[in-house]
Chains A and B, each alone.
Chain A
Amino acid sequence: MEESHIISLKEVDSTTHGSASEQINLKNINLTVNAGETVAVIGRSDSGKHGLLRCIALLDRPLTGILSIDNKNLTFMASSELCQARRKIAYITGKPTLMHSKSILHNVALPLLIQGTPKDEAYKLAGIALGKVNLESNQQTPVTSLTTMQLLQVDMARSLVNNPSIMLADDVLQKLDPKSAQIASNLLEKIKHTEKLTILISTNDANYIKAYCDSVIVMQQGMIVERCSTYELFSQPQSDTAKEFIRIFAKHELPGSLRKRITHRALAQHHALVRINFHDCLAPEEILSNSLDAFDLRMNIIQAYQEAICGQTLNLMVIEIFGEFDTVEQVVEFLNHNGLHSEIIGYVPTIA
Protein backbone atom coordinates (compact mmCIF):
# COMPACT_ATOMS: atom_id res chain seq x y z
CA MET A 1 0.00 0.00 0.00
CA GLU A 2 2.82 2.45 0.76
CA GLU A 3 5.45 0.68 -1.28
CA SER A 4 5.53 3.07 -4.18
CA HIS A 5 5.77 6.23 -2.08
CA ILE A 6 9.31 7.44 -2.38
CA ILE A 7 8.69 10.43 -0.13
CA SER A 8 6.20 10.39 2.68
CA LEU A 9 5.59 12.97 5.38
CA LYS A 10 3.11 12.46 8.18
CA GLU A 11 2.05 15.34 10.40
CA VAL A 12 5.44 16.97 10.10
CA ASP A 13 6.17 20.27 11.80
CA SER A 14 9.49 21.91 11.07
CA THR A 15 11.35 25.16 11.42
CA THR A 16 13.86 26.55 9.00
CA HIS A 17 16.94 27.68 10.84
CA GLY A 18 19.55 30.02 9.49
CA SER A 19 18.66 33.44 8.24
CA ALA A 20 16.19 34.90 10.68
CA SER A 21 14.44 36.96 8.03
CA GLU A 22 12.72 34.02 6.41
CA GLN A 23 11.71 31.90 9.29
CA ILE A 24 8.83 29.85 8.08
CA ASN A 25 7.34 27.10 10.12
CA LEU A 26 5.87 24.11 8.44
CA LYS A 27 2.67 23.05 10.09
CA ASN A 28 1.14 19.62 9.95
CA ILE A 29 2.47 18.55 6.57
CA ASN A 30 0.99 15.35 5.16
CA LEU A 31 2.39 14.42 1.82
CA THR A 32 3.22 11.42 -0.30
CA VAL A 33 5.08 11.44 -3.57
CA ASN A 34 5.28 8.47 -5.89
CA ALA A 35 8.52 7.40 -7.48
CA GLY A 36 9.07 8.96 -10.87
CA GLU A 37 6.67 11.80 -10.35
CA THR A 38 7.43 15.41 -11.08
CA VAL A 39 5.71 17.54 -8.49
CA ALA A 40 5.58 21.30 -8.52
CA VAL A 41 5.33 23.20 -5.25
CA ILE A 42 3.63 26.52 -5.80
CA GLY A 43 2.66 29.30 -3.46
CA ARG A 44 3.52 32.87 -2.61
CA SER A 45 6.94 33.86 -1.31
CA ASP A 46 7.41 32.81 2.32
CA SER A 47 4.63 30.26 2.05
CA GLY A 48 6.97 27.49 3.15
CA LYS A 49 8.06 26.06 -0.20
CA HIS A 50 11.70 26.51 0.70
CA GLY A 51 11.15 25.04 4.16
CA LEU A 52 9.37 22.01 2.75
CA LEU A 53 12.20 21.23 0.35
CA ARG A 54 14.83 21.76 3.03
CA CYS A 55 12.93 19.44 5.32
CA ILE A 56 12.79 16.70 2.68
CA ALA A 57 16.48 17.33 1.88
CA LEU A 58 17.10 16.46 5.55
CA LEU A 59 18.69 19.85 6.09
CA ASP A 60 16.08 20.81 8.68
CA ARG A 61 15.01 18.10 11.04
CA PRO A 62 11.28 17.75 11.68
CA LEU A 63 10.19 18.79 15.15
CA THR A 64 7.32 16.32 15.20
CA GLY A 65 5.87 13.82 12.77
CA ILE A 66 7.39 11.17 10.57
CA LEU A 67 9.49 11.72 7.49
CA SER A 68 10.33 8.67 5.46
CA ILE A 69 12.15 8.39 2.19
CA ASP A 70 12.26 5.19 0.20
CA ASN A 71 10.17 3.62 2.97
CA LYS A 72 12.93 4.27 5.47
CA ASN A 73 11.93 6.29 8.47
CA LEU A 74 14.44 9.09 8.68
CA THR A 75 12.95 10.98 11.58
CA PHE A 76 15.28 9.61 14.19
CA MET A 77 18.72 8.86 12.95
CA ALA A 78 22.31 9.01 14.01
CA SER A 79 24.22 11.75 12.26
CA SER A 80 26.42 9.30 10.37
CA GLU A 81 23.39 7.57 8.89
CA LEU A 82 21.92 10.95 8.14
CA CYS A 83 25.02 11.79 6.08
CA GLN A 84 24.52 8.62 4.06
CA ALA A 85 20.85 9.35 3.49
CA ARG A 86 21.48 12.94 2.42
CA ARG A 87 23.74 11.79 -0.39
CA LYS A 88 20.83 10.11 -2.15
CA ILE A 89 18.85 13.31 -2.21
CA ALA A 90 19.94 16.00 -4.61
CA TYR A 91 19.09 19.50 -3.50
CA ILE A 92 19.77 22.26 -5.98
CA THR A 93 19.16 25.97 -5.71
CA GLY A 94 20.72 27.28 -8.89
CA LYS A 95 23.12 29.28 -6.74
CA PRO A 96 25.61 26.64 -5.69
CA THR A 97 28.28 27.39 -3.14
CA LEU A 98 31.47 26.81 -5.08
CA MET A 99 35.16 26.82 -4.34
CA HIS A 100 36.43 29.81 -6.24
CA SER A 101 40.01 28.66 -6.16
CA LYS A 102 39.21 25.44 -8.04
CA SER A 103 38.03 24.37 -11.49
CA ILE A 104 34.50 23.37 -12.41
CA LEU A 105 35.57 19.74 -12.51
CA HIS A 106 36.99 19.83 -8.98
CA ASN A 107 33.85 21.49 -7.68
CA VAL A 108 31.64 18.85 -9.22
CA ALA A 109 33.90 16.11 -7.88
CA LEU A 110 33.94 17.60 -4.37
CA PRO A 111 31.13 15.46 -2.88
CA LEU A 112 32.97 12.35 -4.05
CA LEU A 113 36.32 13.58 -2.80
CA ILE A 114 34.76 14.21 0.60
CA GLN A 115 33.49 10.65 0.65
CA GLY A 116 37.03 9.47 0.06
CA THR A 117 36.82 8.51 -3.62
CA PRO A 118 40.29 8.55 -5.22
CA LYS A 119 40.94 11.72 -7.15
CA ASP A 120 41.19 10.13 -10.61
CA GLU A 121 37.93 8.27 -10.28
CA ALA A 122 36.13 11.24 -8.74
CA TYR A 123 37.25 13.43 -11.63
CA LYS A 124 36.12 10.83 -14.14
CA LEU A 125 32.65 10.56 -12.57
CA ALA A 126 32.44 14.34 -12.35
CA GLY A 127 33.24 14.55 -16.05
CA ILE A 128 30.40 12.13 -16.80
CA ALA A 129 28.01 14.13 -14.64
CA LEU A 130 28.98 17.32 -16.46
CA GLY A 131 28.27 15.54 -19.73
CA LYS A 132 24.77 14.72 -18.50
CA VAL A 133 24.00 18.40 -18.05
CA ASN A 134 25.47 19.41 -21.44
CA LEU A 135 28.53 21.06 -19.95
CA GLU A 136 31.31 18.98 -21.46
CA SER A 137 33.49 21.87 -22.55
CA ASN A 138 35.75 24.07 -20.44
CA GLN A 139 35.72 21.85 -17.38
CA GLN A 140 39.09 23.16 -16.29
CA THR A 141 38.07 26.80 -16.12
CA PRO A 142 37.75 28.41 -12.70
CA VAL A 143 34.23 28.98 -11.48
CA THR A 144 34.44 32.74 -11.05
CA SER A 145 33.05 33.66 -14.46
CA LEU A 146 30.05 31.37 -14.85
CA THR A 147 26.71 32.56 -16.15
CA THR A 148 23.51 31.95 -14.19
CA MET A 149 22.65 29.11 -16.53
CA GLN A 150 26.07 27.52 -16.14
CA LEU A 151 25.83 27.84 -12.37
CA LEU A 152 22.60 25.88 -12.51
CA GLN A 153 24.21 23.26 -14.73
CA VAL A 154 27.16 22.93 -12.35
CA ASP A 155 24.76 22.64 -9.44
CA MET A 156 22.84 19.87 -11.23
CA ALA A 157 26.02 18.03 -12.18
CA ARG A 158 27.34 18.19 -8.63
CA SER A 159 24.09 16.84 -7.26
CA LEU A 160 24.15 14.00 -9.78
CA VAL A 161 27.56 12.53 -8.92
CA ASN A 162 26.06 10.53 -6.07
CA ASN A 163 23.37 8.97 -8.32
CA PRO A 164 20.48 10.35 -6.31
CA SER A 165 16.93 9.09 -6.66
CA ILE A 166 15.26 12.33 -5.66
CA MET A 167 15.98 15.80 -6.91
CA LEU A 168 14.71 18.80 -5.01
CA ALA A 169 14.92 21.95 -7.08
CA ASP A 170 14.49 25.07 -5.01
CA ASP A 171 13.39 27.97 -7.19
CA VAL A 172 15.89 27.20 -9.92
CA LEU A 173 13.90 28.61 -12.84
CA GLN A 174 13.07 31.97 -11.35
CA LYS A 175 16.37 33.70 -11.92
CA LEU A 176 16.49 32.78 -15.59
CA ASP A 177 15.10 34.61 -18.57
CA PRO A 178 12.21 32.84 -20.37
CA LYS A 179 14.46 31.28 -23.02
CA SER A 180 17.02 29.98 -20.52
CA ALA A 181 14.19 28.80 -18.26
CA GLN A 182 12.93 26.76 -21.16
CA ILE A 183 16.35 25.27 -21.81
CA ALA A 184 16.72 24.52 -18.10
CA SER A 185 13.27 22.91 -18.00
CA ASN A 186 14.13 20.66 -20.90
CA LEU A 187 17.43 19.77 -19.27
CA LEU A 188 15.68 18.93 -16.03
CA GLU A 189 13.24 16.73 -17.90
CA LYS A 190 16.05 14.99 -19.75
CA ILE A 191 17.94 14.27 -16.53
CA LYS A 192 14.76 13.05 -14.94
CA HIS A 193 14.41 10.36 -17.56
CA THR A 194 18.05 9.35 -17.90
CA GLU A 195 18.60 9.23 -14.14
CA LYS A 196 15.12 8.00 -13.21
CA LEU A 197 14.60 10.80 -10.75
CA THR A 198 11.65 11.91 -8.71
CA ILE A 199 11.55 15.66 -8.91
CA LEU A 200 10.08 18.09 -6.44
CA ILE A 201 10.41 21.61 -7.76
CA SER A 202 9.32 24.81 -6.13
CA THR A 203 8.44 27.13 -8.94
CA ASN A 204 5.88 29.54 -10.20
CA ASP A 205 6.73 28.90 -13.82
CA ALA A 206 3.37 28.04 -15.37
CA ASN A 207 4.98 26.87 -18.61
CA TYR A 208 7.13 24.32 -16.81
CA ILE A 209 4.24 23.10 -14.68
CA LYS A 210 1.99 22.71 -17.73
CA ALA A 211 4.58 20.90 -19.73
CA TYR A 212 6.21 18.54 -17.25
CA CYS A 213 4.61 18.34 -13.82
CA ASP A 214 2.34 15.45 -12.96
CA SER A 215 0.89 17.03 -9.90
CA VAL A 216 1.03 20.17 -7.85
CA ILE A 217 1.27 21.05 -4.19
CA VAL A 218 -0.14 24.42 -3.25
CA MET A 219 1.30 25.93 -0.09
CA GLN A 220 0.07 28.76 2.03
CA GLN A 221 1.52 29.94 5.33
CA GLY A 222 3.48 26.80 5.94
CA MET A 223 0.62 24.45 5.18
CA ILE A 224 -0.33 22.39 2.18
CA VAL A 225 -3.71 23.72 1.12
CA GLU A 226 -4.14 21.77 -2.07
CA ARG A 227 -2.67 18.65 -3.63
CA CYS A 228 -4.00 17.91 -7.08
CA SER A 229 -2.98 16.85 -10.53
CA THR A 230 -1.75 19.56 -12.86
CA TYR A 231 -4.86 19.25 -14.96
CA GLU A 232 -7.07 19.79 -11.93
CA LEU A 233 -5.07 22.82 -10.94
CA PHE A 234 -5.71 24.48 -14.25
CA SER A 235 -9.31 23.34 -14.66
CA GLN A 236 -10.67 23.53 -11.12
CA PRO A 237 -8.39 25.33 -8.69
CA GLN A 238 -9.80 25.03 -5.17
CA SER A 239 -7.76 27.15 -2.81
CA ASP A 240 -7.36 30.91 -3.00
CA THR A 241 -3.64 30.62 -3.68
CA ALA A 242 -4.24 28.25 -6.56
CA LYS A 243 -6.93 30.47 -8.05
CA GLU A 244 -4.64 33.46 -7.74
CA PHE A 245 -1.84 31.53 -9.38
CA ILE A 246 -4.00 30.51 -12.29
CA ARG A 247 -5.28 34.03 -12.72
CA ILE A 248 -1.84 35.63 -12.75
CA PHE A 249 0.47 33.10 -14.34
CA ALA A 250 -1.77 31.11 -16.65
CA LYS A 251 -3.33 34.27 -18.05
CA HIS A 252 -6.90 33.11 -17.45
CA GLU A 253 -7.79 36.72 -17.41
CA LEU A 254 -10.81 38.45 -18.84
CA PRO A 255 -10.27 41.38 -21.19
CA GLY A 256 -9.71 44.58 -19.25
CA SER A 257 -12.78 46.39 -20.58
CA LEU A 258 -14.97 43.55 -19.43
CA ARG A 259 -13.29 43.23 -16.06
CA LYS A 260 -14.13 46.84 -15.27
CA ARG A 261 -17.83 46.32 -15.84
CA ILE A 262 -18.20 43.04 -13.99
CA THR A 263 -20.12 42.83 -10.70
CA HIS A 264 -20.72 39.94 -8.41
CA ARG A 265 -24.34 40.71 -7.67
CA ALA A 266 -27.21 39.75 -9.90
CA LEU A 267 -28.70 43.11 -10.77
CA ALA A 268 -31.52 44.03 -13.08
CA GLN A 269 -30.48 44.80 -16.66
CA HIS A 270 -27.48 42.48 -16.23
CA HIS A 271 -26.71 39.15 -17.71
CA ALA A 272 -24.52 36.32 -16.51
CA LEU A 273 -20.95 35.51 -17.47
CA VAL A 274 -20.19 31.83 -17.31
CA ARG A 275 -16.76 30.24 -17.43
CA ILE A 276 -16.72 26.74 -18.80
CA ASN A 277 -13.79 24.38 -19.01
CA PHE A 278 -13.83 20.91 -20.37
CA HIS A 279 -11.77 18.02 -21.48
CA ASP A 280 -10.90 17.48 -25.10
CA CYS A 281 -12.66 14.19 -25.57
CA LEU A 282 -16.13 15.54 -24.86
CA ALA A 283 -18.42 16.93 -27.50
CA PRO A 284 -18.94 20.31 -25.91
CA GLU A 285 -20.56 22.18 -28.75
CA GLU A 286 -23.37 19.71 -28.90
CA ILE A 287 -24.05 19.72 -25.17
CA LEU A 288 -23.82 23.47 -25.02
CA SER A 289 -26.08 24.19 -27.95
CA ASN A 290 -28.54 21.49 -26.89
CA SER A 291 -28.83 22.89 -23.40
CA LEU A 292 -29.19 26.44 -24.58
CA ASP A 293 -31.86 25.31 -27.05
CA ALA A 294 -33.64 23.37 -24.35
CA PHE A 295 -33.78 26.40 -22.08
CA ASP A 296 -34.34 28.76 -24.98
CA LEU A 297 -31.40 31.05 -24.24
CA ARG A 298 -28.99 33.02 -26.39
CA MET A 299 -25.29 33.20 -25.78
CA ASN A 300 -22.24 35.08 -26.88
CA ILE A 301 -18.71 33.67 -26.75
CA ILE A 302 -16.32 36.15 -25.22
CA GLN A 303 -13.18 34.11 -24.86
CA ALA A 304 -12.15 30.65 -25.91
CA TYR A 305 -8.78 28.99 -25.91
CA GLN A 306 -7.01 25.70 -25.52
CA GLU A 307 -4.11 24.74 -23.32
CA ALA A 308 -1.96 21.66 -23.40
CA ILE A 309 -1.40 20.35 -19.90
CA CYS A 310 0.60 17.18 -19.39
CA GLY A 311 -0.51 15.75 -22.71
CA GLN A 312 -4.13 16.59 -22.09
CA THR A 313 -5.95 19.47 -23.67
CA LEU A 314 -7.87 21.86 -21.53
CA ASN A 315 -10.46 24.02 -23.27
CA LEU A 316 -11.57 27.19 -21.63
CA MET A 317 -14.48 29.31 -22.62
CA VAL A 318 -16.15 32.38 -21.23
CA ILE A 319 -19.62 33.02 -22.52
CA GLU A 320 -22.31 35.49 -21.68
CA ILE A 321 -25.82 34.09 -21.49
CA PHE A 322 -28.80 36.35 -22.01
CA GLY A 323 -31.81 35.40 -19.96
CA GLU A 324 -33.28 34.98 -16.49
CA PHE A 325 -30.72 34.24 -13.80
CA ASP A 326 -32.69 31.29 -12.47
CA THR A 327 -32.61 29.68 -15.88
CA VAL A 328 -28.90 30.41 -16.23
CA GLU A 329 -28.27 28.65 -12.94
CA GLN A 330 -30.20 25.66 -14.19
CA VAL A 331 -28.10 25.64 -17.34
CA VAL A 332 -24.90 25.76 -15.30
CA GLU A 333 -26.09 22.85 -13.22
CA PHE A 334 -27.01 20.95 -16.35
CA LEU A 335 -23.58 21.61 -17.89
CA ASN A 336 -21.76 20.54 -14.73
CA HIS A 337 -23.80 17.40 -14.77
CA ASN A 338 -22.64 16.68 -18.29
CA GLY A 339 -18.94 17.06 -17.58
CA LEU A 340 -18.51 20.68 -18.54
CA HIS A 341 -17.19 22.43 -15.43
CA SER A 342 -18.99 25.72 -15.38
CA GLU A 343 -19.42 28.52 -12.92
CA ILE A 344 -20.99 31.93 -13.00
CA ILE A 345 -18.12 34.34 -12.56
CA GLY A 346 -20.10 37.55 -12.54
CA TYR A 347 -22.65 39.75 -14.14
CA VAL A 348 -22.25 42.51 -16.68
CA PRO A 349 -24.74 45.18 -17.68
CA THR A 350 -26.51 44.74 -20.98
CA ILE A 351 -25.41 47.34 -23.46
CA ALA A 352 -28.39 48.99 -25.00
Chain B
Amino acid sequence: MSQLLLNALRETLIMVATAGTIAFIISVPLGIFIASISNSPYKSVQLIYKLLFNIIKLIRGIPFLLLIVLFIPITNWLISKQFSYMAATIAPLATAGILMLTVKVNDITYDIQQKWSATCKQFGASLKQNIFMVVLPEALPKFLVETTNTLAALISFSIIAGALGAGGLGQLAIEKSITDPNPPIVLGAILLVVAIQQLIKYTGSLVVQQT
Protein backbone atom coordinates (compact mmCIF):
# COMPACT_ATOMS: atom_id res chain seq x y z
CA MET B 1 0.00 0.00 0.00
CA SER B 2 2.70 2.46 0.96
CA GLN B 3 4.59 1.48 -2.17
CA LEU B 4 1.59 2.43 -4.30
CA LEU B 5 1.27 5.77 -2.53
CA LEU B 6 4.96 6.53 -2.78
CA ASN B 7 5.04 5.79 -6.50
CA ALA B 8 2.03 8.01 -7.08
CA LEU B 9 3.55 10.75 -4.96
CA ARG B 10 6.77 10.53 -6.94
CA GLU B 11 4.86 10.80 -10.22
CA THR B 12 2.87 13.81 -9.03
CA LEU B 13 5.98 15.57 -7.78
CA ILE B 14 7.85 14.95 -11.01
CA MET B 15 4.94 16.25 -13.09
CA VAL B 16 4.47 19.38 -11.00
CA ALA B 17 8.16 20.12 -10.51
CA THR B 18 8.97 19.78 -14.21
CA ALA B 19 5.98 21.81 -15.29
CA GLY B 20 6.74 24.41 -12.62
CA THR B 21 10.37 24.73 -13.65
CA ILE B 22 9.46 25.11 -17.31
CA ALA B 23 6.82 27.68 -16.36
CA PHE B 24 9.32 29.68 -14.27
CA ILE B 25 12.02 29.65 -16.94
CA ILE B 26 9.64 30.84 -19.66
CA SER B 27 7.32 33.09 -17.62
CA VAL B 28 9.87 35.36 -15.97
CA PRO B 29 11.50 36.59 -19.20
CA LEU B 30 8.15 36.63 -21.01
CA GLY B 31 6.39 38.56 -18.25
CA ILE B 32 9.20 41.10 -18.00
CA PHE B 33 9.25 41.43 -21.78
CA ILE B 34 5.51 42.09 -21.99
CA ALA B 35 5.66 44.64 -19.16
CA SER B 36 8.64 46.37 -20.74
CA ILE B 37 7.01 46.82 -24.13
CA SER B 38 3.68 47.94 -22.65
CA ASN B 39 4.92 51.52 -22.28
CA SER B 40 6.71 51.73 -25.58
CA PRO B 41 6.21 54.95 -27.51
CA TYR B 42 6.15 53.06 -30.81
CA LYS B 43 2.77 52.11 -32.27
CA SER B 44 3.99 48.81 -33.74
CA VAL B 45 5.42 47.66 -30.40
CA GLN B 46 2.18 48.65 -28.71
CA LEU B 47 0.36 46.43 -31.19
CA ILE B 48 2.58 43.45 -30.38
CA TYR B 49 1.96 44.07 -26.70
CA LYS B 50 -1.82 44.15 -27.11
CA LEU B 51 -1.75 41.04 -29.27
CA LEU B 52 0.39 39.05 -26.83
CA PHE B 53 -1.52 40.19 -23.79
CA ASN B 54 -4.91 39.36 -25.28
CA ILE B 55 -3.79 35.96 -26.49
CA ILE B 56 -2.60 35.13 -22.99
CA LYS B 57 -5.82 36.41 -21.46
CA LEU B 58 -7.89 34.33 -23.92
CA ILE B 59 -6.03 31.08 -23.31
CA ARG B 60 -6.12 31.72 -19.57
CA GLY B 61 -9.89 31.65 -19.78
CA ILE B 62 -9.94 28.02 -20.94
CA PRO B 63 -10.66 25.61 -18.06
CA PHE B 64 -7.80 23.25 -17.43
CA LEU B 65 -9.78 20.13 -18.32
CA LEU B 66 -10.49 21.54 -21.77
CA LEU B 67 -6.89 22.64 -22.11
CA ILE B 68 -5.87 19.01 -21.72
CA VAL B 69 -8.42 18.09 -24.39
CA LEU B 70 -6.97 20.75 -26.68
CA PHE B 71 -3.54 19.26 -26.11
CA ILE B 72 -4.60 15.71 -27.08
CA PRO B 73 -2.96 15.85 -30.53
CA ILE B 74 0.34 16.99 -28.99
CA THR B 75 0.05 14.44 -26.22
CA ASN B 76 -0.56 11.68 -28.74
CA TRP B 77 2.41 12.79 -30.79
CA LEU B 78 4.62 12.77 -27.67
CA ILE B 79 3.44 9.29 -26.72
CA SER B 80 4.18 8.07 -30.24
CA LYS B 81 7.73 9.32 -29.63
CA GLN B 82 8.13 6.86 -26.71
CA PHE B 83 7.28 9.38 -23.96
CA SER B 84 5.29 8.05 -21.03
CA TYR B 85 1.74 9.26 -20.62
CA MET B 86 2.83 11.12 -17.51
CA ALA B 87 5.60 12.95 -19.34
CA ALA B 88 3.17 13.88 -22.08
CA THR B 89 0.84 15.47 -19.53
CA ILE B 90 3.56 17.92 -18.61
CA ALA B 91 2.90 19.92 -21.80
CA PRO B 92 -0.61 21.15 -20.88
CA LEU B 93 0.42 21.44 -17.25
CA ALA B 94 3.41 23.65 -18.10
CA THR B 95 1.23 25.73 -20.43
CA ALA B 96 -1.24 26.39 -17.65
CA GLY B 97 1.63 27.29 -15.34
CA ILE B 98 3.18 29.63 -17.90
CA LEU B 99 -0.10 31.47 -18.44
CA MET B 100 -0.67 31.95 -14.73
CA LEU B 101 2.85 32.98 -13.88
CA THR B 102 3.40 35.24 -16.90
CA VAL B 103 0.44 37.41 -15.98
CA LYS B 104 1.68 37.68 -12.39
CA VAL B 105 5.26 38.47 -13.44
CA ASN B 106 3.92 41.05 -15.86
CA ASP B 107 1.85 42.73 -13.13
CA ILE B 108 4.74 42.82 -10.65
CA THR B 109 7.21 44.11 -13.24
CA TYR B 110 4.77 46.71 -14.50
CA ASP B 111 4.21 48.05 -10.98
CA ILE B 112 7.92 48.33 -10.26
CA GLN B 113 8.65 49.97 -13.60
CA GLN B 114 5.87 52.48 -13.06
CA LYS B 115 7.20 53.30 -9.62
CA TRP B 116 10.74 53.67 -10.88
CA SER B 117 10.14 55.33 -14.23
CA ALA B 118 10.99 58.87 -13.13
CA THR B 119 13.89 57.80 -10.94
CA CYS B 120 15.41 55.59 -13.63
CA LYS B 121 15.07 58.41 -16.13
CA GLN B 122 16.88 60.61 -13.65
CA PHE B 123 19.70 58.09 -13.30
CA GLY B 124 19.94 57.78 -17.05
CA ALA B 125 19.30 54.04 -16.88
CA SER B 126 18.63 52.08 -20.04
CA LEU B 127 15.86 49.49 -20.17
CA LYS B 128 18.42 46.71 -19.77
CA GLN B 129 19.90 48.38 -16.67
CA ASN B 130 16.41 49.01 -15.37
CA ILE B 131 15.58 45.30 -15.65
CA PHE B 132 18.81 43.85 -14.31
CA MET B 133 19.68 46.35 -11.59
CA VAL B 134 16.28 47.39 -10.35
CA VAL B 135 13.44 45.13 -11.43
CA LEU B 136 15.08 41.73 -10.91
CA PRO B 137 16.56 42.34 -7.43
CA GLU B 138 13.37 44.03 -6.30
CA ALA B 139 10.95 41.54 -7.81
CA LEU B 140 12.70 38.21 -7.36
CA PRO B 141 11.16 37.47 -3.94
CA LYS B 142 7.75 38.35 -5.34
CA PHE B 143 8.38 36.14 -8.35
CA LEU B 144 9.26 33.27 -6.01
CA VAL B 145 6.10 33.75 -4.00
CA GLU B 146 4.01 33.74 -7.17
CA THR B 147 5.86 30.62 -8.28
CA THR B 148 4.86 28.80 -5.11
CA ASN B 149 1.26 29.90 -5.69
CA THR B 150 1.50 28.57 -9.23
CA LEU B 151 2.95 25.29 -7.98
CA ALA B 152 0.06 24.91 -5.56
CA ALA B 153 -2.36 25.43 -8.45
CA LEU B 154 -0.40 22.98 -10.60
CA ILE B 155 -0.87 20.28 -7.94
CA SER B 156 -4.63 20.67 -8.33
CA PHE B 157 -4.26 20.58 -12.09
CA SER B 158 -2.12 17.44 -11.95
CA ILE B 159 -4.88 15.75 -9.97
CA ILE B 160 -7.34 16.63 -12.73
CA ALA B 161 -4.87 15.28 -15.27
CA GLY B 162 -4.59 12.16 -13.10
CA ALA B 163 -8.31 11.63 -13.42
CA LEU B 164 -7.77 11.37 -17.17
CA GLY B 165 -5.07 8.78 -16.65
CA ALA B 166 -1.89 10.80 -16.34
CA GLY B 167 -0.80 8.91 -13.24
CA GLY B 168 0.13 10.33 -9.87
CA LEU B 169 -1.97 10.71 -6.74
CA GLY B 170 -5.06 11.82 -8.67
CA GLN B 171 -5.22 8.68 -10.78
CA LEU B 172 -4.51 6.50 -7.73
CA ALA B 173 -7.27 8.10 -5.66
CA ILE B 174 -9.83 7.75 -8.43
CA GLU B 175 -8.85 4.16 -9.23
CA LYS B 176 -8.99 3.14 -5.61
CA SER B 177 -12.38 4.72 -5.03
CA ILE B 178 -14.26 3.64 -8.18
CA THR B 179 -12.80 0.63 -9.95
CA ASP B 180 -10.99 -1.07 -7.06
CA PRO B 181 -12.32 0.40 -3.79
CA ASN B 182 -9.66 0.78 -1.10
CA PRO B 183 -10.59 3.59 1.32
CA PRO B 184 -7.28 3.73 3.27
CA ILE B 185 -5.31 4.38 0.08
CA VAL B 186 -7.78 7.05 -1.07
CA LEU B 187 -7.54 8.72 2.31
CA GLY B 188 -3.75 8.50 2.22
CA ALA B 189 -3.65 10.04 -1.27
CA ILE B 190 -5.89 12.92 -0.18
CA LEU B 191 -3.78 13.52 2.92
CA LEU B 192 -0.61 13.55 0.84
CA VAL B 193 -2.05 16.10 -1.61
CA VAL B 194 -3.12 18.36 1.25
CA ALA B 195 0.30 17.96 2.86
CA ILE B 196 2.16 18.95 -0.32
CA GLN B 197 -0.12 21.94 -0.81
CA GLN B 198 0.52 23.11 2.75
CA LEU B 199 4.25 22.58 2.39
CA ILE B 200 4.37 24.69 -0.76
CA LYS B 201 2.28 27.45 0.78
CA TYR B 202 4.49 27.41 3.86
CA THR B 203 7.59 27.81 1.69
CA GLY B 204 5.90 30.77 0.02
CA SER B 205 5.19 32.45 3.34
CA LEU B 206 8.80 31.84 4.39
CA VAL B 207 9.95 33.71 1.29
CA VAL B 208 7.60 36.57 2.17
CA GLN B 209 9.01 36.76 5.68
CA GLN B 210 12.56 36.81 4.39
CA THR B 211 11.96 40.02 2.48
Contacts and interface: CB of A to CB of B under 8 A. Distances in A.
Interface of A: 18, 57, 59, 82-84, 86-87, 91, 96-97, 99-102, 110-111, 113-115
26 contacts: A18-B118, A57-B122, A59-B118, A59-B122, A82-B124, A83-B125, A84-B124, A86-B121, A86-B122, A87-B124, A91-B122, A97-B115, A99-B138, A101-B137, A101-B138, A101-B141, A102-B137, A110-B133, A110-B134, A111-B123, A113-B133, A114-B120, A114-B125, A114-B129, A114-B133, A115-B123
B138 to A, nearest CB: 5
A99 B137 CA distance: 8
Contact of B121 (A59, A96, A113): A59
A10 to B, nearest CB: 24
Contact of A83 (B115, B124, B211): B124
A87 B141 CA distance: 30
Contacts, number: 46
Interface in B95-136: 115-116, 118-125, 129, 133-134
Contacts of B211: 100-101
Contacts of A101: 137-138, 140-141, 211
Contacts of B141: 101
B138 A97 contact: no
A100 B129 CA distance: 18
A21 to B, nearest CB: 15
Contacts of A18: 118
Contacts of B137: 99, 101-102
A101 B125 CA distance: 19
Interface string B176-211: 000000000000000000000000000000000001
Nearest to B116: A97
Contacts of A102: 137
Given A57-B122, A100-B138, 14 more contacts: A18-B118, A83-B125, A84-B124, A86-B124, A87-B123, A96-B119, A99-B134, A99-B138, A101-B140, A110-B134, A113-B133, A114-B133, A115-B123, A115-B124
A59 B118 CA distance: 7
Contacts of B140: 101
Interface residues of B, number: 18
Contacts of B125: 83, 114
Contacts of A114: 120, 123-125, 129, 133
Contacts of B116: 97
A299 B118 CA distance: 59
B130 to A, nearest CB: 8
A57 B123 CA distance: 11
A83 B121 CA distance: 7
Contacts of A86: 121-124
Nearest to B141: A101
Nearest to A162: B123
Contacts of B115: 97
A110 B211 CA distance: 19
B122 A110 contact: no
Contacts of A91: 122
A40 B81 CA distance: 75
A97 B123 CA distance: 12
A100 B140 CA distance: 12
A216 to B, nearest CB: 26
A102 B137 CA distance: 9
Nearest to B139: A101
Q: Which of A84, A87, A91, A114 is the most central at the interface, judged by chain B CB atoms within 10 Å of its CB?
A: A114
Nearest to B134: A99
Nearest to A87: B124
A83 B137 CA distance: 23
A99 B140 CA distance: 12
Contacts of A115: 123-124
A57 B122 CA distance: 8
Contacts of B121: 59, 86
A18 B118 CA distance: 10
A249 to B, nearest CB: 29
A50 B6 CA distance: 64
Interface string B128-168: 01000110011011000000000000000000000000000
B80 to A, nearest CB: 47
Q: Which of A18, A87, A101 is the most central at the interface, judged by chain B CB atoms within 10 Å of its CB?
A: A101
B126 to A, nearest CB: 8
In order of increasing CB-CB distance, the 4 nearest A-B pairs are A83-B124, A111-B123, A97-B119, A114-B125
A96 B140 CA distance: 21
Contacts of A100: 138, 211
A269 to B, nearest CB: 61
A55 to B, nearest CB: 13
